[in-house]
Chains A and B, each alone.
Chain A
């Protein structure tokens, strides 16, 4: 069975400082992993995905994530936060074609 744990329910950063969102997963197989972002009252938008190619994955809006199999982690980072990055972020794992497991989400606030 697959599951996802987002280690922080809330992260607060100052504009221009780095952002780190932590995600650990459990999976019986080689999973596909995703990060999605959700702005208030909106649907989810894909930031990036890992599908067993390069372990460092670059996404949209300057985000990237590193897959570490030994640590079963898939942490999301951005070197410099922008006010528009304030949103909720979801780490997602998939083992089979149709079922995704979503983490509980991390809310990011950005201070001016």
Chain B
């Protein structure tokens, strides 16, 4: 099936650093969602975006719905060790999932 392209695929960062990742699609989406998956668990919804240009925060997380409606961005500020996991974008409420960004935080 169709997948969204996420980048980077993986990243190692130092604790306290800011993190940015993005997701692009060849199709226009009406919604973008960002999920985090911990080992052995299902993805957990972090942020939902419903209109182009929307910027939404959830604690240290901020996500934006791209103006073109074909991309979205997730930023994590001042990363901490528990931010480790795989981050997925999803379009159309979760109908299509991205390939994931694996984040590792070095204490």
A binds B: no
